[in-house]
Amino acid sequence: MGAKGFFISKAVGVVGIVLGAGAVATIIALSVVYSQEKAKTDAPVAPTDGTGTTLPTVPTPAPSNEPWDKYRLPESLVPETYTVTLHPRLIPDPITKLYIFTGTSHVVFKCVKETQLILIHSNKLNYTKALNGFLATLTTEGGGAPAPAIKSSGLVEKTQYLVLQLSDSLVKDQKYKLSTTFTGELADDLGGFYRSEYLENGVKKIVATTQMQPTDARKAFPCFDEPAMKAIFHITLVHAHGTRALSNGMETGTTDQTIDGMSVQVTTFEPTKKMSTYLLAFIVSDFGFIQTTLEGVLIRIFARKAAIDANQGEYALSVTGPILKFFENYYNATYPLPKSDQIALPDFNAGAMENWGLITYRETALLYDAKYSSNSNKERIASIISHELAHMWFGNLVTLRWWNDLWLNEGFASYVEYLGADHAEPSWGVKDLTVLSDIHRVFAVDALASSHPLSSKAEDIQRPEQISELFDAISYSKGAAVLRMLSGFLTEDLFKKGLSTYLNKFAYGNTVYTDLWDHLQMAVDESGKPLPGRVHDIMNTWVLQMGFPVITIDTATGLVTQKHFLLDPESNVEASPYNYEWIVPITWMKTNINQPSIWLTKKSDTRVEMKVISGQWVLANLDTVGYYRVNYDMANWESLLNALTSNHQDIPKINRAQLIDDAFNLARAKEISTILALRTTQYLTKETEYMPWESALDNLDFFYLMFDRSEVLGPMQAYLLKQVTPLFDHFRILTVDWTIIPPGHMDQYNQVNAIGKACSTGLPQCQTLVQGWFTSWMDNPAVNPIEPNLRSTVYCSAIAAGGAKEWDFAWDQFLKASIATEAEKLRAALACTKEPWLLNRYLEYTLNPSLIRKQDATSTIVYIASNVVGQPLAWDFIRDRWSYIFNQYGGGSFSFSNLINGVTERFSSKFELQQLEQFKKDNEAVGFGSGTLAVEQAIERTKANMMWISENKQQVLKWFVDNTLP
């Protein structure tokens, strides 16, 4: 293949053209759309001029540094309005068999700096030559001298531009209009303008839909595809009779027209507000919908007709209004649009996308049916709706200038999603769950030397893969955690005040993250609240350096110190501008300590007066509002363990969960002994609350990963069986022998833990119970007797205990499922079988999109890898097919790092490390895309696991044996 990245190997139709720029010919790589399904080849291919005509091959040029070689747009042109008409064809071309869309676009932009060059993003679009012989026409807009003539036009594949060279300069402050006509493929690739398919009464149906974030609007029409290039969009969609078109704005009318001899419908929309390209959405479908209005805002839920007819949209419709009102109040800003549409799509890569006014979801994230859906499915719907609605202001109305600040956008929505969901479902207590799903989740990666700071430099984030890589646990969960801490120490009132002035000031504009700090500071100044520094200075220590501190409290001396918490204390970390010192708000349990809360600003300068009576304890980081771990002197640990065994309710439940999580992780970092960590689980025989149990099970999962192929497993299972049996009995009684559902949301979760763990550790009563349910369902498939909350765990237990008969039955039910959440439960449970041949067959299914949707492929492989029998099979499978998987499935943003993490999480031997390093080497050329960092993390994790096992195995084995003796 030619110079790296110049001829892109992906597509057959990748080409180059000659731009007549003086003596030196400038070569530009092009891509043609009708190439997707063809075989991939590494050979250089014939160039075209962007209209489908083949030109002679051009030799590979020397690397150049022209404006079109840069990924960022030059600062010369600013778009104002776009008028875009798109016509997706929902039936394939009879000859090529491809689905395509056609379009025209007119973009009016202002020249703010003289230039002879127009660069506008365009990816995989094929242009029709205009009368001038070029790929676009240019005219002056709003009077003024005629526009300069176009001298050359072409497409750059690598940096995804349409490039126009002009015979003369554009004039500063003059407006111009650029017009194009183009076609693109409506591929099933889940990005840009793409197609989704489903069966309805045996008939294949096609939906045309979009996913633009972060950089795929350029795949639908030529645009200045950067978040700061806000403009107003006038959208028109052409579609077949019997279908409906949706976009960000409200439909203003639909007329019948004849285009190319075809009778079609043409739907126009209200022009949008001034907005970023990544928030656009265009959809054509024959979906059904339900609607309501709330204080003048139209709220609609769209989905497949069968789903709407089965009332699966009702729950989403019922929570949207209240959550929208909650955010209007929280932000002190009215919802800026006249309508809020939400649509469930059969094929969708992420969970949901906050397109302004037309939010897209995967079906499991929006559709609910009490007959099939669990409380967990319901909570996911409430919180994901809340997350996306939060973006309508934070992100959409006010947008970060560049992707390097993505963490603030996603972190913010990930924090406030709990507040909105809590407003819709106040009895659930969901706000607490951020501790498990965000803080514990991200502590695990942020304690590695391969972590990274929240904030990146704008110049370090250029290529689309670099942008995609930012959608990680650090941006989402650490972002959420530090904002929750900030709101905690400012008070929610001040936080809201600053937020509201920020949103008002920058409405329809762009910001950098420090603009938010400035507005919070104004609120602080006005209130006179004392802080140890400016918001800016405090937050910099959390945002500009990676990791987090462990606070050590010595109750004997009253000394409180901090240090960088690293899972591997020996690892080398890069230098930090703050020398791994944080400004830490420390809260206490009120007993035993004089000050209610303190600030720790240096590594070791703080002494607190403690009046610790022997046997009494100190507890810091109340409700885990702070993003840090806490360690204590041994005497205090002993008192805390005592408190857990004698009166665990004295310690708030979040902190019980936190003590367990801190202990296990401090042990992994060798700050305390592993035995001390294990001792935090002894009191669980008396614990019935979900949060501490979940925290313990999550941490013990690491023990399973490390030991489930070793002699430790038996004694460990015996210990856990002993611990979980009282919980199983508790729920048996609470549910009157499994006949009623526990009333509390968290109790419902913990019931699942009780059954799941009791069955997997071999409690005969549990196994009989769940196998009985499953057999009864197999005997009469029309009646599923398993309560929806319990289905995931019951299906998994039964399939694990069963063979091909159970597996095939579940697969059949998967194919027949009428709601996506039911299919999802079965898809996960199918990975639970212990039969290698079934697992290998299932692995093959994952890459067959007619069996497993593309959106679900990587997560299915991860499910299989989480099974101890499936793990080596999954690892062989992805090693064998990496380049295929990467090319077919590499587009997804989260899924790639999840895949790498998933298949490598058990790695803990020298051989596995070698294999991993070999894998990295073998695939250097193919690459890992958004999973690049995950490969590094996997290597680091494997080394740490090897160390941990060698240091802990014997004592852990002995402890489990000793602690199961009667």
Hey, which residues are catalytic here? 388
Of 354, 379, 405, 515, the one binding ligand BES (CB under 6 A) is 354
Q: Is 351 in the site for ligand BES (CB under 6 A)?
A: yes
Tokens 């027949």 correspond to 816
- Closer Cβ to Zn ion, 410 or 432, answer by number: 410
Give the shortest CB-359-to-ligand BES separation in angstroms: 9
Strand intervals (E) in 201-348: 203-211, 232-239, 244-247, 251-259, 262-269, 282-285, 288-294, 297-303, 339-345
Instruction: Name which position in 32, 406, 408, 413 contacts Zn ion (CB under 5 A).
Output: 413
| 350 contacts ligand BES (rule: CB under 6 A) | yes
Q: Which does 384 bind (CB under 5 to 8 A by kind): ligand BES, Zn ion, none?
A: ligand BES
Residue from 141, 189, 363, 388 that binds ligand BES (CB under 6 A)?
388
The annotation places the binding site for Zn(2+) at: 387, 391, 410
Q: Considering only 194-202, 368-376, 382-390, 765-773, which stretch makes contact with ligand BES by CB under 6 A?
A: 382-390
277 forms part of the interface with ligand BES (CB under 6 A): no
Q: Phi, psi (5° rounding) for residue 133?
A: 85, 0
**CB-wise, 141 or 410, nearer to ligand BES?**
410
Residue nearest ligand BES, Cβ-based = 351
* Residue 301 contacts residue 289 (beta carbons within 8 Å): yes
> Contact with ligand BES (CB under 6 A): which of 391, 441, 564, 906?
391
Of 48, 105, 248, 414, the one binding ligand BES (CB under 6 A) is 414
Q: How far is the CB of 413 from ligand BES (least distance, A)?
A: 6
DSSP-derived pairing of the beta strands 175-185 and 137-141: antiparallel
Q: Is 212 in the site for ligand BES (CB under 6 A)?
A: no
**Residue 837: phi, psi to the nearest 5?**
-70, -35
- Report 15-74 residues binding ligand BES (CB under 6 A): none
Q: Give the range of 4-12, 318-326, 413-421, 514-522 binding Zn ion by CB under 5 A.
A: 413-421
Pairing of strands 339-345, 358-362: parallel
Q: Does 17 bind Zn ion (CB under 5 A)?
A: no
d(CA 374, CA 787): 8
Partner from ligand BES, Zn ion, none binding residue 655, C-beta < 5-8 Å depending on class = none
d(C-alpha 484, C-alpha 413), whole Å: 11
CB-closest chain residue to Zn ion: 413
Contact between 776 and 806 under an 8 Å Cβ cutoff? The reply is no
- 3-state SS string over 134-174? CCCEEEEECCCCCCCCEEEEEEECCCCEEEEEEEEEECCCC
E strand or H helix at 198, and its extent? strand 192-200
User: For ligand BES, which stretch binds (CB under 6 A), given 410-418, 623-631, 741-749, 879-887?
Assistant: 410-418
Picked from Zn ion, ligand BES, none, the partner binding residue 807 (CB below 5 to 8 A depending on kind) is none
Q: Give the ranges where 870-931 is alpha helix by DSSP (H).
A: 870-889, 895-904, 910-922
Looking at residue 819, the DSSP 8-state letter turns out to be S
Paired strand residues for 199: 204
DSSP string, 521-542: HHHHHHHT---SS-HHHHHHHH
Instruction: Calculate the CA 861 to chain-centre distance.
Output: 18
**Which of these ranges, 37-45, 411-419, 531-539, 565-573, lies near ligand BES under the rule CB under 6 A?**
411-419
Query: Is 410 one of the binding residues for ligand BES (CB under 6 A)?
Result: yes
Q: How far apart are CA 19 and CA 60, in angstroms?
A: 14
Q: Say what angle helices 910-922 and 932-962 make with each other, to 10 degrees.
A: 170
Could you tell me if 464 and 278 are in contact, meaning their C-beta atoms sit under 8 angstroms apart? no
Q: Which does 744 bind (CB under 5 to 8 A by kind): ligand BES, Zn ion, none?
A: none
Closer by beta carbon to ligand BES, 30 or else 385: 385
Q: Which of residues 429-488 bind ligand BES (CB under 6 A)?
A: 471, 476
Quick one: 362 or 791, whose CB is closer to Zn ion?
A: 362
- Name the one range near ligand BES by CB under 6 A: 198-206, 265-273, 352-360, 649-657: 352-360
For residue 195, the 8-state DSSP code is: E
Is position 384 an interface residue for ligand BES (rule: CB under 6 A)?
Answer: yes
Find which of Zn ion, ligand BES, none residue 471 binds, CB within 5 to 8 Å per kind.
ligand BES
> Known binding site: residues?
387, 391, 410
- The CA-atom distances, in angstroms, between 130 and each of 47, 133, 141, 153 are 20, 5, 18, 11
413 or 696: CB nearest ligand BES: 413
**Beta-strand pair 232-239/77-88:** parallel
213 near ligand BES, rule: CB under 6 A: yes
392 lies in the site for Zn ion, by CB under 5 A: no
352 binds ligand BES per the rule CB under 6 A: yes
Considering the complex, state which of residue 351 and residue 652 has its C-beta at the smaller distance from ligand BES.
351
Distance between CA atoms of 425 and 301, rounded to whole angstroms? Answer: 19
> Counting contacts by CB under 6 A, is residue 236 touching ligand BES?
no
Least CB distance to ligand BES at residue 328 (A): 19
DSSP label of 394: B
Nearest to 331 by CA among 505, 195, 185, 546: 505
Using CB under 6 A, list all residues that contact ligand BES. Answer: 213-214, 350-354, 383-384, 387-388, 391, 410, 413-414, 417, 471, 476, 893
Catalog residues that contact Zn ion under the rule CB under 5 A: 410, 413
